[in-house]
Chains A and B, each alone.
Chain A
C-alpha cells in the first residue's frame, strides 16, 4: 500500500530529518572539492524516501553524512542535519554520536559487503551491540534478533550461531537488516539494498523492507540507482547529480511526469518489460568527476540536450514547480 502523495505543506512536527545547507568536501592534492554542495532536504516522518542518481552523484556520501561518519579526506564543511528529538548531529560529541548511531538511526549495508566480524558469531556480535548501547537486559537483543530473523524467514537459531562466512549473500543482507533494527531506531538508511542479489531475493528483500517499515513506523531512506526499486517502494524520490538535488517530488508525480532533463533521462533509461528493448535509451555521456564539477551554472549542462546560454552563466536554484514538487532547472517555470 502506498500513501497518497502529500499535498498539504508539512508542519515541522511531521519532519523527521531536516538537512539544511549541507556541504561535504574532499581535500585532495589539487584543492578542496564539494561532493555535496549546499544541499537542503526535509525527510517526512514515516515516509520511504529514495535517493537516486548515477554512481558519483553523491548519494552514498549523503548517507554517510546523515550518520555523521564521512571519513578522511572527506569532511562536512557546512550545514546542519537535524533529527527530530535529537537536534543537529554535526554538533554531537563523540559519545552521543556513538549512541545515536544504532539507537536512533541505523544503516543497512549492501549484500556484497562483509559487515560482520569474521571471527565472531552473529549472536555474540548482537550482544556486543547491546553492551555498547548499555542495554540492561542484554539477552533481550537476542530475542529481538531471533524475532526479526523469523520475520525475514531466516532460521533464527542457526543464524544466531553462524559466522559470516556461513551465510549467503541474501542472508547477509537480511542479517545486516537485523543489526540495523535490533535497537529499534527511528530512521533506517538502506544502501543499495538490491545490488548483488538475484531477482527473487530482490523482491523478497523489498517486501520485507516495506512490511517492517510499516510495522515499526520507520522513516526510511533508500539509496539506489534502480528506478524499479523506486517505483515499487518509495513515497518520495530525490534525484541527485554532482552532489546537488536536481529534483525532489512524490514518486508517482516524478515517475509519471519528471521535470528535470536529468530525471527524464534516468527514467528513459529504464528497460520496460513490454515493448521493444531499444525503447530504453542509455544516458549519454558520463557522470562528472569531483574536480570537473563547474562552480557556476547548471552542473548537468554538458550532458543536457536542452542546454541554453543561461545554463552556463546562472546556477539554477531548487524551486517548487508544482505543489510539493521541486526542481533545479531554468526551463521549468515556478508554479
Chain B
C-alpha cells in the first residue's frame, strides 16, 4: 500500500504544520511590544486584584502561568492545546475561546458554503460555455466577464454591493445577521430574516469566486478538447452525449482538488465580507479580537483558520486519489 504510506506521511506533515503555527502564535504574543500577558497582569493588579488571583486569572486566559520560564509555559500551552483548550477570552470575560469560536463557525460555514456552491456551479457552466464556444461572441463575453470579476478585490465587491443595495436602493437590510427585533428560533419570520440578511454577503462571496472557477474550467475544458482521445472518440463514432461526458469528467478532475482546497480557505477567506456586512463569523472574530487586543481569541481563531486549510489539503489528496485512476496505482 504505497498510497497509504504517502497519505500517512502527508498527515504527519500536516500535524507538523499545525504545531509550527501554534508555536508561532505562542511566541508571537511573547514578542509583542509590551507583552500582553504582563500587561494584562499589571492591569489586573492596578484594579486592586490580589496578586495570586490576578496570576491565576491571567494563566486561565492564556493557558500558562506568566512568571514561569518560557519553555515551561510553552509546554503547558502545548499540553492544553492537545486537549483543545485554547484558554479564555479577554474581551468576553470568562468565556472559553473554544466556545466563542465554535459559536462563530456556523455563520461562516453557512455563508461561505452557500457562496462557494453558487459560484462553483455558475462558474463551471460559464467556463464550459467560454471554452466550447470560444470563437463566438457568447464564449468571448463569458471569458471577458469572468476575467473582469476575477480582477475585482473582494472588499470592493462587498462595498459596492452594500452601497448599491442598501443605500441607493434599499432592497436589502444592512449589517447584522438578522433583524434583532425578531425572536430567534425556528420560526418562518426568523428564518426569512436570516435569509434576507444573508443574500448580500453570499452574493459578494459568490461573485468574487465566480471568475476564478470560470477561468479555471475554461482552461481545463480547452485543454481536454485538444486531447487526442476526444478526436479518437469522435472517429470511433461515439455519440455526442458520450463524448460530452468524456470531456466533462476529464475537465472536471482538476477542479475537484481546487474545490476542496477552497472549502479549507473559507474560514479565513471571508474576513472582508464578514466585517463589511457585520456578520458574526470567524473572519470577523479575528479582526475584532485584534481591535480588542484579545490575544487568546486571536490565537484560537487563527489556529482554526489554518487547521482548516491543512485538513482540506489532506482531503483533497485523498479525494483525488479516489477519483483519478492514474494516481491510484502510481
Q: Give chain A's interface residues, CB within 8 Å of chain B.
A: 67, 69, 71, 98-103, 106-107, 109, 113-120, 128-129, 131-133, 163-166, 176, 179-180, 183
Contacts and interface: CB of A to CB of B under 8 A. Distances in A.
B237 A100 contact: yes
A163 B326 contact: yes
A114 B235 contact: no
B242 A118 contact: no
Contacts of A131: 239, 242
Given A101-B236, A118-B229, A119-B253, A165 B325 contact: yes
B246 interface: yes
A119 B237 contact: no
A119 B242 contact: no
15 contacts: A98-B237, A99-B237, A102-B237, A106-B235, A106-B236, A113-B232, A115-B229, A115-B232, A118-B326, A119-B250, A119-B324, A129-B237, A131-B239, A133-B237, A163-B326
Given A101-B237, A128-B238, A119 B325 contact: yes
Nearest to B239: A132
Interface in B220-242: 227-229, 231-239, 242
Interface string B303-330: 0000000000000000000001110010
B228 to A, nearest CB: 5
Interface pairs A-B: 5 shortest CB-CB: A102-B237, A115-B232, A101-B237, A132-B238, A132-B239
B170 interface: no
Contact of B229 (A98, A103, A117, A180): A117
A183 B250 CA distance: 26
A128 B234 contact: no
Contacts of B246: 117, 120
A299 to B, nearest CB: 29
Contacts, number: 74
Given A114-B229, A166-B329, A179 B324 contact: no
Contacts of A99: 237
Contacts of B237: 98-103, 129, 132-133, 183
Given A116-B232, A117-B229, 5 more contacts: A98-B238, A106-B236, A109-B232, A114-B228, A132-B238
B249 interface: yes
B6 to A, nearest CB: 18
Contact of B228 (A67, A115, A129): A115
B261 to A, nearest CB: 21
